C-alpha cells in the first residue's frame, strides 16, 4: 500500500514537470484518457530532466550529471524502483509497456551529443540526432497508445517518427537564436545561420511540411483513445509552423516566435469541434 502511495507521488511529480515546462504538450496530454495520460507524463518527465541537464545547468558538470542520471535510470529499470521520483515513474512505464532499451539509448546518445557537438555536418548526422532526440519519444508514446499490439506498432511507427521529426524541426526553427547565441549549436547542415535568409528558410520549411504530411496519416490511424490528444499536439505545432512561415527570416533569427496561451485555448475548442464532427483537417 505504501509503495503504491510512493508511485502516486512519483507520477504526480512527472505530471508537475510536464505542466511546468510545456503548456502545449500538457494541454494536449490532458485530452488523453487518464491511464494513458499518466504514462505520457512519466515519459515526458524523464526526457525533460535529461534535456535540462544538457541545456540549462551551465555552472555544473553536465557530463557527470548525465552519467549519474543514466546510471540511476538503468538501475531503476532493473530494480523496478528508484528513490528519484522521476526515474521511479519512468521505470514503471518502461517495464509495464516493454519499451525497448534501444529507444532510450538512442535518446541519451543525442543528449550526449548536445554536451559537446555544436554543428552537424551532413544529413546523416542530423537525422541520427533527430531520431534520438524526437523520433524515439514518439515511438515510446506509440508503445503506450497501441497497448501491446505489435502489429499496430509496426504499422504506425514510421508515421510516429515523421511527426516527432516535424515537431523537433519546428522547435529548431523557433529556437534559432537561443541555440546559436546561448548554446552555440546549429542543427541545419549546409545552412549558414549568420547568413540566414528567405532562401534558407524555405528550404527548411519544405522539409518540415513533408514530415507533417507523413505524420498526419499516422494520426488518422491511431486508436480512438489517443487520436484526439495527438491531433491537438499536431494542431499546435502546425499553427506555430504557419506563424514561422509568415515571419521574415531576419525576425526568426532575432526573436523566439510563440503562440499565446489564449490562442491555444481557441485552437483546443476548434480542434474539439473538428474532431467530434468528423471534420479533422490539415491546419
Q: Tens of pLDDT along 128-168?
A: 999 999 999 999 999 999 998 999 999 999 999 999 999 99
The answer, yes or no, to whether residue 226 has pLDDT greater than 60, is yes
The whole-angstrom separation of Cα 79 and Cα 96 is 13
**Residue 90 confidence (pLDDT):** 98
**Residue 122 confidence (pLDDT):** 79
Q: Tens of pLDDT along 194-209?
A: 677 888 888 888 989 9
The whole-angstrom separation of Cα 13 and Cα 255 is 32
Average of per-residue pLDDT values in the chain? 88
The answer, yes or no, to whether residue 283 has pLDDT greater than 50, is no
Which residues are bridge partners to 186 per DSSP?
119
pTM for the structure as a whole: 0.90
Sketch the domain layout of the chain as residue ranges. Answer: 147-283
**Residue 282 confidence (pLDDT):** 46
Question: Residue 186 has what DSSP assignment?
Answer: B
Domain spanning 147-283, CATH architecture: Orthogonal Bundle (1.10)
**Residue 27 confidence (pLDDT):** 85
Between residues 182 and 244, the one the model is more confident about: 244
The whole-angstrom separation of Cα 225 and Cα 251 is 39
Q: Tens of pLDDT along 85-118?
A: 999 999 999 999 999 999 999 999 999 999 988 7
Q: Mean pLDDT over residues 6-25, rounded?
A: 93
* Helix (H) / strand (E) containing 37: helix 34-56
Residue 238: other Cβ atoms inside 10 A: 21
Annotate 196-229 with DSSP letters as a single string. --HHHHHHHHHHHHHHHHHHHHHHHTS-HHHHHH
Taking only Cα atoms into account, the Rg of the chain, rounded to an integer number of angstroms, comes to 19
Sign of CA dihedral 78, 83, 84, 89: positive
Determine the distance from the C-alpha atom of residue 114 to the mean position of all C-alpha atoms in its chain, rounded to a whole number: 16
Least confident of 76-90, 127-141, 213-227, 261-275: 261-275
Q: Tens of pLDDT along 167-203?
A: 999 988 888 777 766 666 777 776 666 677 888 888 8
Q: Mean pLDDT over residues 60-83, rounded?
A: 97
Half-sphere exposure for 63 (CA within 13 Å, toward CB): 4
**Residue 275 confidence (pLDDT):** 74
Residue of 23, 97, 18 whose CA lies nearest to 51:
18
The whole-angstrom separation of Cα 78 and Cα 140 is 18
**Residue 187 confidence (pLDDT):** 77
Please state the length of the chain: 283
- In this structure, are residues 93 and 144 in contact, taking their beta carbons and an 8 Å threshold? yes
Percent of the chain residues past pLDDT 70, beyond the cut: 93
Q: Mean pLDDT over residues 209-231, rounded?
A: 90
**Residue 193 confidence (pLDDT):** 65
Amino acid at each position: 500500500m505504501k509503495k503504491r502511495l510512493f508511485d502516486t507521488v512519483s507520477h504526480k511529480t512527472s505530471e508537475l514537470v510536464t505542466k511546468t515546462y510545456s503548456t502545449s504538450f500538457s494541454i494536449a496530454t490532458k485530452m488523453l484518457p487518464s491511464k494513458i495520460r499518466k504514462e505520457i507524463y512519466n515519459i515526458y518527465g524523464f526526457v525533460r530532466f535529461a534535456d535540462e541537464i544538457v541545456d540549462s545547468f551551465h555552472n555544473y558538470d553536465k557530463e557527470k550529471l548525465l552519467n549519474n542520471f543514466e546510471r540511476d535510470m538503468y538501475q531503476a529499470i532493473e530494480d523496478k524502483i528508484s528513490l528519484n521520483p522521476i526515474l521511479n515513474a519512468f521505470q514503471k512505464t518502461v517495464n509495464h509497456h516493454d519499451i525497448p532499451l534501444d529507444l532510450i539509448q538512442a535518446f541519451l546518445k543525442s543528449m550526449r551529443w548536445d554536451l559537446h557537438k555544436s554543428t552537424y555536418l551532413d544529413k546523416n548526422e542530423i537525422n541520427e540526432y533527430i531520431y534520438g532526440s524526437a523520433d524515439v519519444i514518439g515511438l515510446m508514446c506509440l508503445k503506450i497508445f497501441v497497448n501491446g499490439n505489435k502489429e499496430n506498432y509496426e504499422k504506425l511507427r514510421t508515421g510516429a517518427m515523421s511527426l516527432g521529426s516535424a515537431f523537433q524541426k519546428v522547435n529548431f526553427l523557433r529556437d534559432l537564436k537561443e541555440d546559436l547565441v546561448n548554446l552555440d549549436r546549429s542543427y541545419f547542415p549546409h545552412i549558414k545561420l549568420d547568413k540566414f535568409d528567405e532562401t534558407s528558410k524555405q528550404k527548411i520549411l519544405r522539409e518540415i511540411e513533408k514530415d507533417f504530411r507523413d505524420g498526419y496519416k499516422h494520426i488518422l490511424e491511431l486508436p480512438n483513445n489517443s487520436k484526439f490528444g495527438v491531433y491537438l499536439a499536431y494542431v499546435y505545432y502546425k499553427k506555430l509552423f504557419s506563424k514561422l512561415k509568415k515571419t521574415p527570416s531576419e525576425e526568426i533569427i532575432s526573436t523566439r516566435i510563440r503562440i499565446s496561451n489564449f490562442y491555444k485555448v481557441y485552437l483546443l475548442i476548434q480542434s474539439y469541434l473538428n474532431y467530434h464532427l468528423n471534420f479533422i483537417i490539415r491546419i
